[in-house]
Amino acid sequence: MSDNNIQKEASEYAELIAVYSEDIALFAEHVFGSSLSPKQREFCEAFRSKRRISFKGGTGFGKTFVLATCFWWALICHEEVQVSILGPSEPNLKSTSWKEILKFYDRMAAPFNETFTVSATRISSTSNPASCFGEYRLASKDNISAIRGIHMRSNFVIVDEATGVDDEVFIEGLGGIFADPNPKLCIIANPSRASGYFWRTWCDPELSPIWTHVHGTFWDSPNYDPETFAETAKSYGGPTSRDYRVMVEGEFPLSDEDGLIPRDLIDAAVRNEDAVPADNVPIIWSVDPAGAGKDTSVLCIRHDNKVLDFKEWTGLDPTQLSYKIRDLYQQTPKKDRPVVVCVDGTGLGNGVWSNLKDFGLPTYNVIFAGTPTRNPEKYSRMRDQIYWETRDWLATENVSIPNISRLIEELASFKYDDASGKIKVEDKKLVKKRIGRSPDYFDALAMTFAVSKTRYASKYNWSKPIQYNHLQTLE
């Protein structure tokens, strides 16, 4: 072949790639002979043009098919590119996403199939294998350092079955890809959990706006027909079932199956604008102290069936935090002051509790690991008691909480177990690993239930100064 013909073919190839770069549907038709459904086209356009894409969908949409399409488009239409397929289970990756990618290679049109070398775990450009390749990896909190090391000029990461991936992978591992010149993070899942990072990309008012959302349902299936739909609907339990909501409608469940607090109770409390605290029920404050590190000290202000406010401070030692609370107390009108300030007195919190008591504030030392003060036959520890009583409070459906994303996620994140005959709430350390921080807001709210809700009812005339001397020792 003459040099002119070689140059002509190279020029035509480059022009074709330029066209494909702007139209993944056309790319799929020419290279694989595949037609994309309208929803698959929507997904591909989001993948082509956006940096952060979160797809939730029911069964039958063909997400594995469109994932494989986007994988090959990224490799063929970019020169310096790494495409990484991540998932929570290596066997599942091999049998679904990666298997589909290899099937696409088998039916790839010439000359594209001649430009790649394919192995069991890696696909690379024949001419430039070090800077144009794709591979799959296990996504786990145990290999964060390996995930953090993914870098390339065009760095495209696709996370399949994202609800099963540890939150640490997203928070600690994948955030670094956005330092690259052309990054892309696409996360895909059936929305089977009402908590976690994938849920936050849709429902967290702070995180959600930076993501491009694509939502698929069973009706978006390329092979949809009414008879099959009717059979599938019955197999998932019908429109009122959890499985139908997740797998057919492609929506998040109202709560996690083993969650401590059902999601619908949380949402109802956020929306409730009609909760009116009883006049004869006093205001209670509670404080979850943190050290001078990155964790947040949180104060909750609750009046009966309504959480009035939260205050937070970061980086304060126990003495500094004590003065902040004292100052807030003194600045609060007497009629709005708390009848008691509950403090997590474990560890460094003991200093805060002691300081506030010395300042003359009415205090109660909450020992999370202590013996339950109510229904000891029902709970293992004080912590289990007040967390469950928070749940019971929300279950009245006549309560109001602020629309704070951290609070909402923390309330929805805890699990519990009652196999021993007593309620045992999930260890705080596990939740901290899952959501990437300490659940300080939930702790602060729960502590407002450490004292009896009836102990102070009707005891005070709120128009008069409150005397606290007799409140130093509480049940």
Render 346-405 in DSSP notation, one character per residue.
STTHHHHHHHHHHTT--EEEE-TTS--SS-TTTBSSHHHHHHHHHHHHHHTS--B----H
Q: Could you tell me if 171 and 318 lie in one domain?
A: no
71, 112: one domain = yes
**Do 235 and 271 share a domain, yes or no?**
no
Given pLDDT bands bounded at 50, 70 and 90, which one contains residue 240?
low
- In this predicted structure, what is the pLDDT of residue 23? 97
Q: Mean pLDDT in the chain?
A: 88
Note the pLDDT tens digit of each residue in 108-134. 988 888 899 999 889 999 999 999 999
**Residue range 172-178: mean pLDDT, rounded:** 90
- Structurally, the chain folds into a number of domains equal to 2
How does DSSP classify residue 426? Answer: P
Q: Residue 28: what pLDDT?
A: 96
Query: What pLDDT does residue 258 have?
Result: 65
Which of the listed ranges 11-15, 125-129, 209-213, 276-280 does the model predict with the highest average pLDDT?
A: 209-213
Find which of 220-224, 233-237, 266-270 is predicted with most confidence, using mean pLDDT. Answer: 266-270
Evaluate whether residue 142 is within a structural domain: yes
Here the tokens at position 64 are 């594995």
pLDDT score for 255 = 64
- Tell whether 209 is covered by a domain: yes
- Measured CA distances, 155 to 133, 164, 232, 284, 293 (Å): 10, 22, 38, 51, 33
In-domain check, residue 424: yes
* Whether residue 342 sits in one domain with residue 227: no
- 257 domain residue, yes or no: no
Domain boundary (214, 248, 282) is at 248
403 located within any domain:
yes
- Check residue 4 and give its pLDDT: 62
In a domain, 253, yes or no: no
Q: What's phi and psi for 460, nearest 5 deg?
A: -125, 140
For 360-372, the pLDDT digits (tens) are: 999 999 999 999 9
Residues 231 and 280 both lie in one domain: no
Q: Which domain holds residue 159?
A: 3-248
What CATH number does the domain containing 280 carry?
3.30.420.240
CATH of residue 51's domain is: 3.40.50.300
- Claim to verify: residue 416 and residue 302 sit in the same structural domain: yes
* End residue of a domain, out of 204, 219, 248: 248
Residues 283 and 238 in one domain: no
pLDDT at 2: 59
